[in-house]
Amino acid sequence: MNVPPHGAASSLRHISTPPNFAQHNGTPVPNRPDADDFGSGSIKEEVIKIFWQTFGIKPKAKCRTYQRSYPENYDYVAYPQGFKIPEFVKFTGDDSRTTLEHVGQFIIQCGEASTNDIYKLRLFPLSLSGAAFTWFISLPPNPVFTFADLEQKFHDYFFTGETELRLSHLSSVKQKIYEGVSEYIRRFRDTKNRCYSLTISDRDLADLAFAGLLDFHKAKLEGQEFLDVSQIL
């Protein structure tokens, strides 16, 4: 067996394989790319191209992740001791329920938590469903610090004004022939509650309710002055 001359072996140890090539049966072949190489644009695009040509598959685009519309640290504020999350009436944005009605009922249902903006910001999405909930989770991640800010965004998006009634609607409410006075007054008040922008004194409101009574009821109450609607009953 031939033995390399003295010093030749150590010299051979310093001869390196060319970059990106390995020896296989005496023939240099390209090495497999490192895992990190797949982060580069050219290799990634080539892999995507191969998958598309071979299997007809394209990688899915990245899905947008949910981000809070309020500061993250709000989630670490504990609820009052013994507080139970209510079963909120849901707002969907698809029915006749108005934003004013919803916010009012939401605050009432919050109970003691209604005095704290952090609690209300965290609880409000639990009162939304369907398209309204989709609107909420699609809000940009710019922090909303107060409930007033979130409420304004809610009104701006969903309030149409189509369900708001006016003085003309209220003055057109009349007692029906077979309707009792209490039922009529209840219907009158329901109409008034939908006149969100209407400013009217209790005395004038009582006069309007009195004007809508049937004639024989008016005759019984003729000459009396009413300070509010409840006195007509």
CATH number of the domain within which 177 lies: 1.10.1200
What is the per-residue pLDDT for 169? Answer: 82
> With pLDDT > 90 as the criterion, what percentage of the chain qualifies?
37
Q: Are residues 83 and 149 in the same domain?
A: yes
Residues 76 and 154 placed together within one structural domain of the fold:
yes
Q: Among 114-118, 124-128, 166-170, whose mean pLDDT is lowest?
A: 166-170
Task: Determine the Cα–Cα distance for residues 91 and 199; give it in Å rounded to an integer.
Answer: 27
Mean pLDDT, rounded, for 166-189: 89
Residue 189 reports pLDDT greater than 70: yes
Domain that holds residue 98: 72-158
Task: Name the token pair of 64.
Answer: 């947008």
Instruction: Tell me: do 92 and 28 sit in the same domain.
Output: no
**Domain for residue 7, yes or no?**
no
Write down the mean pLDDT value for the chain: 79
Shared domain check, 138 and 80: yes
Instruction: Let me know: does 175 contact 217? Beta carbons within 8 Å.
Output: yes
The one-letter code for the residue type at 27 is: T
Of 80, 83, 119, 120, the closest CA to residue 103 belongs to 120
**Is residue 5 assigned to a domain?**
no
Q: Domain check: are 46 and 87 in the same one?
A: no
| The most confident of 25-34, 151-160, 201-210, by mean pLDDT | 201-210
Do the domain assignments include residue 2? Answer: no
Cα separation, 51 vs 173, whole angstroms: 70
Q: Place 60 in a pLDDT band, splitting at 50, 70 and 90.
A: low
Domain-embedded: residue 220: yes
Which of 18-27, 120-129, 173-182, 207-216 is predicted with the least confidence, judged by mean pLDDT? 18-27
Total domain count, the chain: 3
Q: Are residues 100 and 152 in the same domain?
A: yes
For residues 178 and 134, state if they share a domain: no
Residue 83 is assigned to a structural domain of this protein: yes
Domain presence at residue 111: yes
Mean pLDDT of 110-118: 93
Higher pLDDT, residue 72 or 165: 72
Same domain for 199 and 144?
Answer: no
Residue at token pair 């989709």: 134
pLDDT at position 130: 92
**CA 182 to chain centroid:** 40
Query: Are residues 208 and 225 located together in one domain of the fold?
Result: yes
The pLDDT value recorded for residue 42 is 67
Element (H, E) at 28: strand 27-30
Query: Which of 110, 128, 158 lies at the terminal end of a domain, its last residue?
Result: 158
Considering only residues 65 and 41, tell me which one the structure prediction assigns the higher pLDDT.
65
Residue with tokens 């009396």: 224
Of 45-49, 120-124, 199-203, the one with minimum mean pLDDT is 45-49
Segments in 68-164 forming alpha helices (H): 99-110, 117-123, 131-137, 147-158
Confidence of residue 88 (pLDDT cuts 50, 70, 90): very high
Same domain, 184 and 214: yes
- Domain check: are 151 and 80 in the same one? yes
Half-sphere exposure of 199 (CA within 13 A, CB side): 0
Closest to 228 (Cα-Cα) out of 215, 216, 210: 210
Same domain (yes/no): 194, 137: no
In a domain, 43, yes or no: yes
pTM: 0.51
* Domain finish residue from 158, 177, 198: 158
What is the predicted pLDDT for the residue at 133?
92
Question: Is residue 60 a part of any domain in this protein?
Answer: no
